[in-house]
Structure formats: structure tokens, C-alpha cells
Structure 1
Amino acid sequence: MTLVRFDPFRELSTLQDRLNRIFADAYPRRYDDDLTQRGEWFPPVDIYENGSDEIVLKAELPGLRREDIDLRVENNTLTLRGERKRDTEIKQEQYHRVERSYGAFSRSFTLPSRIDTENVRAEFKEGVLSIKLPVKAEAKPRQIEVAIS
């Protein structure tokens, strides 16, 4: 007979998965009650370090123009706002299906204290906003030479 250890967290995780499946089947998502109708959406964002020099944030903003984007840095918080507007030439009753999200969005990111907020750069190209957040020079690791005496 083998000894099996009881892991309560694994059991809770399994229970949560089962409950999620039960409620997902009982209350399927309807397209007429979609987030697109309320105008709320959140553009997907990737955040990564580019070596030790800067942190890069890339946001997918297809269909937006540069004028539709508001980017601010205040109190070590980067805030990205904008609005994707519906095509005014197409009437609501002409749509067969609407899966893309429209309306205003706002995303905020707390920046680490090592970011030089005075030298943040942003570039918008082919529907992708790239924000480069440079690391302060004093926060970068540096090699200290040890003298032999």
C-alpha cells in the first residue's frame, strides 16, 4: 500500500475548475449582451525588459489613430487611454455580427521607482503602441573593480 499525501490546495483547485465548468454551461455568453454593447474593452499588453537598459510595454491598438491615444506618466503611474469608435457609415441594423470591441478604454500600470519617467518614449506603428521606459543610470548594475594590494 502506498502512502498518498493530502494536498488541500490541489483539491480546492479541482473543485474551483468543476464549479467554473458548471456555471459556464448553465450561463452561456450571449452575443447581444457582449462587452461590445457597453463599450468597455482592454487592449492586450506585453511588458518585458529589454536587457538592463529599459522596460518595454507594447499595446495592441488596431483601428486607432495616434490622435485617439492619450499616454501620461504621473506619480510613477503610466496611464494609457483611448477610444475606438464605430464606423459611422454603417447603421446598427446593417450589422449581422459584432465581435470587435468599441468604446473608451483606460489602463494604468504602476512603474518601479528605478524608471526614469522624464525620458519615456512612445512609438505607434501598424496598430501597435511601443512605450520604452528607460532605467535610471543609478539603478543599473555596475561592475566594481577590486584592487589587489
Structure 2
Amino acid sequence: MSVRDLIPWGRDTGNHVPNLLRDDDRDPFLSLHREVNRLFDDVFRGFGSGVPSFGSRGAFSAGWPNIEISDTDKEIKVTAEVPGLEEKDIEVLLNDGVLTLKGEKRSETEDKDRQFSERYYGRFERRIPLGTEVMEAQVEARFKNGVLTVTLPKTEKAQSQVKRIAIKS
């Protein structure tokens, strides 16, 4: 008995099911091989925030630093967690409606005796498109206990463009 005999759509049993699958989709070993390759690709690409991506341009994944954005009628507030950094290590830029957080975390010790580390070191850059007009002269950035908070007040025009839409049942 061959492996193809175990696959219901591969046998000729008289019921004529149209062949909608490619030949390699019918082979379970090729499907398994493809799935294992996909899993390895996912591991080496990184799963998102918090997991380093081995093939990326730095030690940080694309989601570092972790941010929180709140948008009210009057302002946008961006909070970023940057533990282990100081004010001098971070640069905050606002250009054409995009807030950019840049910085670098340096290692405090030599790598000679280090066997294993889950800590991140290196440069990072996070760009956040704001999508509304802000009063650039009144933008404020505060740093306390490893948390950076940037407050971006909206212009009068942006505040007046907010329109509430009633939800009907």
C-alpha cells in the first residue's frame, strides 16, 4: 500500500471529485515540508514586539520601544517605555506629521563573561504617523523612570474637524 492510497482524494473510488488541488498539495510530505519551512521562517523573521529578529538590521525588533497612543479631542499623547535609557540617549523629532523616536541603548559591561542575555542593545527608531495637524510650538516631551511621554496639542482646525457619528440600532 502506498501513501497515496491513504489519501481519499487520491484514490479512484468511482466518485468523481474534481481535482482542485495541485499535485504537490496532495502529497502529505511536501505539505509537511512546506509547513515546517514556514514555521522556521516565522521564527527567524520574529513574531512582532518583544522578540528579536535575527535577520533584522539591529538587535531590536520592529516593535521596540513599546508605545501607547491616546487621541482626545484636544491632544495626542504618545507614551514609550524605554527602560535603561536616559534623556540624553533619546531623540524626539516631529517632521511632516510624523513623530520619530530615535535612540541607542548601550551595554554597561564587556561581553567577555556573558554566556546568555535576553537584554536588547543597539540603535532603535520608531516612526508614528499622527494623521492630524498639531501645534508644533507647543509639543512637550517628558522623561521619568524609563517612560517617555510626548504630548502633541491639536490645532483649532483639527479639533473642529472631529465629527461624532450617531450609531443606529
Q: Bin the TM-score by the shorter chain.
A: 0.5 to 0.7
Kept after mapping to 2: 8 A contact 1:36/1:101: no
Alignment pair present for 1:68 and 2:89: yes
Instruction: Give me the CA root mean square deviation.
Output: 3.2
Aligned residue runs from structure 1 range 1-149, under 5 A: 22=36, 23-24=38-39, 34=54, 38-41=58-61, 42-49=64-71, 51-87=72-108, 90-141=109-160
Shift of 1:100: 1.3
Deviations 1:93-148 (A, max 9, x none): 31121111110011112222332222111110110101111111232249xxxxxx
- Please say which structure displays the higher CA radius of gyration: 2
TM-score normalised over the length of structure 2: 0.59
Task: Pick 1 or 2: higher relative contact order, CA cutoff 8 A, min separation 6.
Answer: 1
The aligned length equals 120
Deviations 1:57-85 (A, max 9, x none): 11110000100111111122211100000
Unaligned runs of 5+ in 1: 1-17, 143-149
- Of all paired residues, the percent bearing the same amino acid is 28
Unaligned runs of 5+ in 2: 1-31, 45-52, 162-169
- Seen in structure 2, the aligned counterparts of structure 1 residues 70 and 25 have a Cα distance that, compared at 3 Å, is closer
